[in-house]
């Protein structure tokens, strides 16, 4: 399998949770390297975690992605292993947090519900499935244990819905959610790099509407393609279409928050 586990959570680093999960993984598969993708996601923010995990899957498709933002821990939601058509493997709760990352891999090819009884450790603590179920499962996968040894095949159609949906066309206009605001105030939209290429949004300027705010933004390759204080549209390291203002916060300037919807089109 992979020699890297990318770990995303809302655990922070002020408590023992991240370190304990590292230790569980190391004990089960000493040769694997754990990369901490992000742990300062706001508590219970499934949307942000899904956006971060999708970014990780886009940049590191060969890694195993362990994603734990889990408001329903201990309830009746399932613990999952998902395998995409292009081979990316994701481990996390069945609350939609893994689904946007699967889009980057061509969609879900196989889905498994982890059977904790098949894992070689004590019964899981209801409040810490990350330590007792999800991290051990990721470690076993990293050490080339086949998922069928501890997972039950399930129908991908039964998976929980994602916290946001991909952009879609309405005539010649693309309608897309704001999925994320990064720490610099850049606005990430549910429009992938593939969508941008297919719709030829990268050929000149883009018109976007956020509520009553209408924007005409040049498409660029990097932030410095525009002057300080000017907006630019680009594909950033997340793999999403992103609206930025050079050296300022685009979200603050335009009053944009996650969950808002924009309508956009390429200008002639």
pLDDT tens column, 89-115 = 999 999 999 999 999 999 999 999 999
- Name the β-bridge partners of 243: 187, 233
Q: Which domains does the chain have, with CATH numbers?
A: 4-158 (3.40.50.10790), 168-266 (2.40.30.90)
| Helix runs in the chain, H state only | 17-28, 46-59, 99-103, 129, 135-142, 193-199, 250-254
Quote the pLDDT of residue 148.
95
| Rounded CA separation 42/40 (Å) | 6
C-beta of residue 12 within 8 angstroms of C-beta of residue 19: no
Q: Which residue has the higher pLDDT, 117 or 244?
A: 244
Q: What is the pairing mode between strands 64-68 and 4-9? A: parallel
Average pLDDT, the chain: 93
pLDDT confidence of residue 124: 59
Judge contact between 16 and 77, C-beta under 8 A: no
């Amino acid at each position: 399998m992979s020699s890297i586990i990318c770990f995303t959570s809302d655990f922070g680093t002020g408590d023992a949770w991240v370190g304990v999960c590292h230790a569980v993984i190391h004990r089960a598969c000493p040769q694997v390297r754990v990369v901490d993708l992000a742990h300062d996601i706001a508590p219970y923010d499934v949307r942000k975690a899904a956006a971060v995990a999708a970014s990780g899957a886009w940049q590191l498709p060969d890694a195993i992605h362990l994603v734990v933002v889990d408001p329903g821990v201990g309830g009746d939601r399932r613990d999952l292993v998902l395998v995409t058509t292009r081979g990316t493997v994701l481990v996390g709760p069945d609350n939609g947090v893994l689904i946007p990352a699967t889009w980057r891999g061509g969609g879900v090819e196989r889905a498994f519900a982890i059977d904790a009884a098949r894992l070689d450790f004590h019964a899981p603590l209801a409040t810490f499935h990350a330590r007792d179920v999800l991290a051990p499962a990721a470690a076993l996968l990293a050490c080339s244990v086949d998922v069928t040894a501890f997972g039950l095949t399930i129908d991908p159609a039964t998976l929980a819905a994602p916290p946001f949906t991909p952009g879609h066309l309405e005539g010649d206009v693309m309608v897309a959610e704001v999925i994320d605001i990064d720490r610099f105030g850049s606005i990430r939209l549910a429009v992938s790099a593939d969508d941008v290429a297919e719709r030829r949004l990268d050929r000149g300027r883009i018109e976007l509407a956020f509520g009553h705010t209408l924007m005409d933004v040049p498409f660029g390759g990097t932030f410095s393609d525009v002057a300080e204080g000017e907006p630019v549209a680009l594909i950033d390291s997340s793999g999403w279409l992103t609206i930025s203002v050079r050296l300022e916060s685009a979200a603050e300037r335009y009053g944009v928050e996650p969950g808002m919807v924009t309508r956009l089109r390429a200008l002639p």
